[in-house]
């Protein structure tokens, strides 16, 4: 009799553990998606669209079915001979939009330089924008603000909630 109780208890424990450890048995369990490709020194695209050359490099890249993820990405856009560069600690490219996060830096050959924590660049519209606080360097000092939109085609940057900090040594 003791053997039957022991066998029944062992069967119950193994069935319970099997259910708990299986993906179907975990409540709210999500299957982790593995990348299709992982590469070091990743280059995602080099496209010429109506005179606009856009290239993205990254220290590491992971290609999934629906997105690309990057470590230390840098996107370079050349339009009408003027280059602009965006870089960050991390990036995700999905549906024509590159979302950047962590020490995001925008600079171009016209001398504009802007730092923020997160921003995104839309490849089709040529718009680089961020809704978080930013700091921009200008000849007279720096500009602090709460959000911005940079239009690569028109070479304009619009910002809101702006405060100019003037460096009197440069005047």
User: In tens digits, what is the pLDDT along the chain, a chain of 171 residues?
Assistant: 444 343 343 334 443 444 444 444 444 444 568 888 888 888 766 666 667 788 889 999 999 999 999 999 999 988 888 899 999 999 999 998 999 999 999 998 888 899 999 999 998 888 999 999 999 987 778 999 999 999 988 888 899 999 988 877 755
Task: Write down the pLDDT at residue 170.
Answer: 59
Would you say residue 155 lies in a domain? Answer: yes
The answer as to whether 4 is a domain residue is: no
d(CA 33, CA 12): 32
Q: Taking a C-beta distance cutoff of 8 angstroms, is the pair 58, 73 a contact?
A: yes
What's the confidence (pLDDT) of residue 134?
Answer: 95
pTM for the predicted model, two decimal places? 0.75
Q: CATH number, domain at 46?
A: 2.60.450.10
Residue 160 domain flag: yes
Of 91, 86, 88, the C-alpha closest to 62 is 91
- Give residue 159's domain range: 37-170
110 domain-assigned: yes
Q: Is residue 18 part of a domain?
A: no
Q: Is residue 96 part of a domain?
A: yes
Residue at 94 is within a domain: yes
- Say how many domains are in the chain: 1
The structure tokens 């290609």 sit at 63
The reported pLDDT for the residue numbered 50 is 67
In what helix (H) or strand (E) does residue 129 lie, and over which residues does it extend?
strand 127-130
What pLDDT score does 12 carry? 42
pLDDT score at 100: 97
Do the Cβ atoms of 43 and 118 come closer than 8 Å?
A: no
Spatial separation of the C-alpha atoms in residues 77 and 83, rounded to whole Å:
6
Residue 32 domain flag: no
Distances (CA, A) of 56 to 5, 91, 115: 65, 10, 19
């Amino acid at each position: 009799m003791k053997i039957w109780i022991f066998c029944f208890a062992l069967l119950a424990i193994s069935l319970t553990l099997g259910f708990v450890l299986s993906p179907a048995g975990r409540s709210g369990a999500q299957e982790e998606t593995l990348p299709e490709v992982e590469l070091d020194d990743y280059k995602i695209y080099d496209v010429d669209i109506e005179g606009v050359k856009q290239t993205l490099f990254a220290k590491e890249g992971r290609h999934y079915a629906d997105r690309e993820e990057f470590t230390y990405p840098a996107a370079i856009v050349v339009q009408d001979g003027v280059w602009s560069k965006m870089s960050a600690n991390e990036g995700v490219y999905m549906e024509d939009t590159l979302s950047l996060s962590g020490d995001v830096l925008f600079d171009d050959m016209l001398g504009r330089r802007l730092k923020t924590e997160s921003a995104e660049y839309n490849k089709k519209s040529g718009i680089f924008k961020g809704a978080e606080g930013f700091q921009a360097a200008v000849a007279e000092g720096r500009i602090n603000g709460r959000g911005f939109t940079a239009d690569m085609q028109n070479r304009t940057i619009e910002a809101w909630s702006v405060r100019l900090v003037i460096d009197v040594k440069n005047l």
